[in-house]
Amino acid sequence: MSQVIEVRWHGRGGQGAKTGSAILAEVLFEAGKHTQSFPEYGAERQGAPMKAFNRVGDEPIRDRSGVLTPDVVVLIDPTLIDAVKPTVGGKDSTVYLINSPDSPANLKKKLGLKDSVKVMTVDATKITLEEFGQNRPNTPILGALAHFFKDVPLEAFIDHFTHKMGGKLPEKVLKANQESIRRGYEEVQQG
C-alpha cells in the first residue's frame, strides 16, 4: 500500500484555504496522483476560522474521514496560531507551512515544537499585497507547497492556474497569480 499524505489547512472564511486545497488537489491529480479535497466549516461567515483538507497518494484513497494526524499543516492566517491550536494531531514528522514574515525558528518556539520539527514560512500576505494590492495568500502558499511535493514541478502549479483561469481573468490578474506562486516558492524560509 502506498503512503497517503494528509494536509490540513487553517484559515478564515474568504482567505482562500478551501480554494487553495481544491487547486492543490487538481494540480496533483493532473500530475497522476490520487487526491481528495474537502472543507470543514463552523459558522459559515467571512472571517470565521475554517479548515480544509487534502489527501494525496499514488493509489486510490478509500479513507473519507477527517484528517486527524496531518503530514503538512498550512496556516494561512498567523493570527490563528493561538485560536485554532494548529499543532493538535501533529507528529514529529509534520511540516508546518505558515504565512508569516517571522522566522521559522521563532514560530517553532511560539508553537512549542521540537527543534527537529520542520517549519516553513513565507510572507504570502506581503507577496499578494505587492502583486495584487489585496491579501489573497493562497497562491504564494501553493508555490511554497511545491517544496513539499517535490515530484511535481513548480511549473505544474503555474501552468494549471494558467489553463484553468486563462480567459476568465484579466491578463494583469492572471500574471499576478503566476508571479505570486513563483514568489511563494522562491521566498519560502525553512527551519
* Paired sense of beta strands 72-75 and 5-12, if any: parallel
Residue 9: what pLDDT?
A: 96
CB 139 within 8 A of CB 128: yes
Q: Where are the domains of the chain?
A: 5-190
What's the CA angle centered on 105, arms 142 and 131, to 5 degrees? 35
DSSP string covering the chain, please? ----EEEEEEEETTSSHHHHHHHHHHHHHHTT-EEEEEEEESS-STTSEEEEEEEEESS-----S--SS-SEEEES-GGGHHHH-TTTT--TT-EEEEE-SS-HHHHHHHHT--TTSEEEEE-HHHHHHHHTSS--THHHHHHHHTTTSTTS-HHHHHHHHHHHHBTTB-HHHHHHHHHHHHHHHHH-EE-
- pLDDT for the residue numbered 44: 59
Please identify every stretch of the chain with a pLDDT value under 70, giving residue numbers as ranges: 1-2, 42-46
Short-list 33, 84, 75, CA closest to 55: 33
Per-residue cell: 47: 472571517
pLDDT at 162: 82
Polymer length in residues for the chain: 191
Q: Report the pLDDT value the prediction gives residue 14, as an integer from 0 to 100.
A: 84
**What is the DSSP pairing of strand 118-122 with strand 95-99?**
parallel
What is the reported pTM? 0.93
Please, what sign has the CA dihedral across residues 55, 14, 73, 177? Answer: positive
Q: Kindly report the CATH number that applies to the domain delimited by 5-190.
A: 3.40.920.10
